[in-house]
Chains A and B, each alone.
Chain A
Amino acid sequence: MKPFREHRGKVVPLDRINVDTDQIIPKQFLKRIERTGFGQFLFYDWRFAADGKKNSGFVLDEPRYEGMSILVAGKNFGCGSSREHAVWALADFGFRAVVSSSFADIFANNSTKNGFLTVRLSESEVAELMRRSRETKDYQLTIDLEQCEVYDDQGFRAKFPVDEFVRHCLLNGLDDIGLTLQHEAEITAYESLHPAPAALQSPPQP
Chain B
Amino acid sequence: MPTKQTLFEKIWDAHLVAQPSGRSPIIYIDLHLVHEVTSPQAFDGLRVAGRKVRQPSRTVATVDHNIPTEPRGTPITDLIAAKQIAALQANCKGFGVRLFDMDSPDQGIVHVIGPELGLTQPGMTIVCGDSHTSTHGALGALAFGIGTSEVEHVLATQCLAQQTPKTMKIEVRGRLAEGVTAKDLALGIIGQIGTDGATGHVIEYAGEAVRGLSMEGRMTLCNMSIEAGARAGMVAPDEKTFAYVKGKRFAPRDDEWRKAVEYWRGLPTDEGARFDKVVEMDAAQLCPFVTWGTNPGMVAPVTGRIPEVGSLKESERRATELALQYMGLEPGKRIEDIGIDRVFIGSCTNSRIEDLRAAAQVAKGYHVSSKVRAMVVPGSQAIKRAAEREGLARIFLDAGFEWRESGCSMCLGMNPDILQPGERCASTSNRNFEGRQGRGGRTHLVSPMMAAAAAIAGHFTDIRNWKFQ
Residues of A in contact with B (beta carbons under 8 Å apart): 15-18, 20, 22-23, 26-28, 30-35, 45, 50, 74-76, 79-85, 87, 102, 104-106, 109-110, 113-114, 163-166, 168, 176-177, 179-181, 183, 186-187, 190-191, 194, 196-201, 204-205
What is the bound-complex CA distance between A52 and B30, given in angstroms?
A: 44
Of all chain B residues, the one with the shortest Cβ separation from A127 is: B315
B58 neighbours in A (Cβ, 8 Å): 196, 200
Chain B: minimal CB distance from A18 (Å): 5
Verify A32–B147 contact, CB threshold 8 A.
no
Which of A114, A180, A197 makes the CB contact (< 8 A) with B252? A197
Which of chain B's residues have a CB closer than 8 A to the CB of A33?
Answer: 40-41, 44, 83-84, 87
Asked if A165 contacts B22 (CB within 8 A), the reply is yes
B433 touches A80 (CB 8 A): yes
Q: Which residues of B contact A84 (CB under 8 A)?
A: 38, 41, 147-149
Cβ of B229 within 8 Å of any chain A Cβ, yes or no, is yes
Task: Flag if A177 contacts B153 (CB, 8 Å).
Answer: yes
Which residues of the other chain, A, contact B98 by a CB distance below 8 angstroms?
A: 200, 204-205
Alpha-carbon gap, A18 to B80, bound state (A): 30
Partner of B147, one of A74, A79, A83: A83
Q: Do B199 and A102 have beta carbons less than 8 Å apart?
A: yes
Q: Shortest beta-carbon distance, B256 to chain A, in Å?
A: 7
Q: Which of B99, B130, B157, B253 contacts A177 (CB 8 A)?
A: B157
Which of B20, B118, B251 interacts with A183 by CB under 8 Å? B20
Q: Is the CB of A50 within 8 A of B80?
A: no
Q: Are B295 and A20 in contact (CB under 8 A)?
A: yes
Inter-subunit contact A176/B161 (CB<8 Å): yes
**In this complex, what residue of A is CB-closest to B16?**
A190
Contact A18 B66, beta carbon cutoff 8 Å? no
Closest CB in chain B relative to A173 CB, distance in Å: 13
Query: Does chain A have a CB within 8 A of B129?
Result: yes
Asked if A26 and B439 sit within 8 Å, CB to CB, the answer is yes
Within 8 A of A (CB), among B290-348: 295, 315-316, 318-319, 322
Q: A residues within 8 A CB of B163? A: 163
Instruction: Please provide the chain B residues from 336 to 388 with a CB less than 8 Å away from any CB of chain A in the complex.
Output: none
B72 within 8 A of A: no
Chain B, Cβ-Cβ closest to A114: B149
Quick one: which of B30, B80, B229, B316 contacts A31, CB cutoff 8 A?
Answer: B80
CA distance A201 to B250 in the complex (A): 10
Which residue of A75, A76, A110, A168 is within 8 Å of B149 (Cβ)?
A: A110
**A199 to B249 alpha-carbon distance, docked (Å):** 8
Residues of A within 8 A of B96 (CB): 204
Within 8 A of A (CB), among B211-230: 226, 229
Establish whether residues B158 and A187, one from each chain, have CB atoms under 8 Å apart when the complex forms: yes
